[in-house]
Amino acid sequence: MTEHFVAPPQWEWYIVWYFFLGGIAGGAYVIGTLLRLFGSTRDEGTARVAFLVSFPAMVICPILLTLDLGRPVRFWHMLINSRTFELNFKYWSPMSVGAWMLFIFGAFATVSFVEAATLTGWLRHPLAQRITRLLSGGFGRLFMVVGALFGLFIAGYTGVLLSVSNQPIWSDTWTLGGLFLASGLSVAAASIALVSRMWREAADSEMKLIRADRVFIVLELALIVALFVTLGAMSGKLLLGRYLILWLLVLAGTVLPLVLQFRSSMGRPAFSVLAPFLVLLGGLALRMVLVFAAQA
């Protein structure tokens, strides 16, 4: 374990919400893509919901990141060197890679949103209809798959970003990238389930989302165990009094939904709202504890 003498970067609420919404945006895109590729025609409605959820979550991300900067007007310095006007890209710096990935993923999420909104009947503009026609065949599937790869990156790299530092806890474990990804997929599945339930009958897909979320939650729990194992004695910093409440929320957002979802598969509709709600709460709490506790 590395002995650290560092100052905290003061990454606080903007960053916590970015990590949370980035997980939803990237994860929802991945889920929408997989539902279309591997689901049946009855899942198309839920797949559209996934793309409709991914876009607004994605749009907020660069706004949060810009507001967090000391000099928000210089947000473009992330991509372009303001002295030489060459492109800035450092593959070994996750923040540099992430800025580009968010930029590119933003384009995919926007186009897929336009397509989903057109298919839903919200958009009738000729350009939107042309985009939708363009994406109706094999090219559309390829487009989604590439977009989903960027989505996976956005959901997971934020954990790597924390680890590629010299901060205690963050740089002492390999688990954060995977943990944020598993949690991102889980909160995305929960968001899609909640939104689907609010405006359409999607009973078929709901069971599929629940089954997928079980996998994501089990992965997340396994990685939380790995987190504590890799941190060893340093875990104490994560378990101080005020963080215990957050860990309780994390547990409530993982273990409880697993239990409730098994129940809801036996037909208890109230649980199918409660379970995804808890997943969202737990996903936020997980990011809060990991961001704040390491800098305390």
Partner 1 sequence: MARTVGFFTDTTLCIGCKACEVACKEWNELPGHAPEFRDSFDNTGQLDDQNWRHVQFHEFTTPAGGVAWNMMSDVCKHCAMASCMEVCPTNAIIRTEFDTVYIQPEVCNGCRDCIAACPYHVIGFNEKTGLAQKCTFCYSRLQNNLIPACAKACPTESIKFGELNQMREVAGARVAQLRAQGVSQARLYGDKEYGGLHALFLLMDKPEAYGLPDAENAVLPRRNNFRSYLGSLVTAVLGLVGAVIAFRDRGGKG
Q: In degrees, to the nearest 5, what angle opens at C-alpha 183 toward C-alphas 178 and 247?
A: 105
CB of 36 to partner 1, least distance (A): 9
Query: Which of 110, 120, 165, 235 touches partner 1 by CB under 8 A?
Result: 165
> Least Å distance between CB 97 and partner 1?
9
Closest to partner 1 by CB, 78 or 246: 78
Alpha-carbon gap, residue 194 to 39, rounded angstroms: 19
Helix (H, G, I), strand (E, B) or coil at 288: helix
Residue 225 in the binding site for partner 1 (CB under 8 A): no
From the CB of 136, what's the least distance to partner 1, in Å?
21
Should residue 229 be labelled a site residue for partner 1 when binding is judged by CB under 8 A?
Answer: no
- Contacts with partner 1, 97-136, as mask; x by CB under 8 A: --x-------------------------------------
Contact pick of 16, 50, 212, 260 for partner 1 (by CB under 8 A):
212
Does the protein bind partner 1 through residue 175 (CB under 8 A)?
yes
Residues 57 and 154: beta-carbon distance below 8 Å: no
Q: Within 8-27, which residues bind partner 1 (CB under 8 A)?
A: 8-11
Which residues lie closer than 8 Å to 271 by C-beta, 6 or more apart?
A: 260, 261, 263, 264
CA atoms of 234 and 70, how far apart (whole Å) = 31
Calpha distance 129→138 (Å, rounded): 17
Is residue 164 at the binding interface for partner 1, with CB under 8 A as the rule? yes
Q: Does 71 bind partner 1 (CB under 8 A)?
A: yes
For residue 215, what are its two tokens?
A: 């996998």
Decide: is 163 part of the binding site for partner 1 (CB under 8 A): yes
Backbone phi, then psi, for 31, in 5-degree steps?
Answer: -65, -40
Residue 247 CA from chain centroid, whole number:
19
The answer to whether residues 108 and 140 touch, using CB atoms and an 8 Å cutoff, is no
Beta carbon nearer to partner 1, 69 or 134: 69
7 binds partner 1 (CB under 8 A): yes
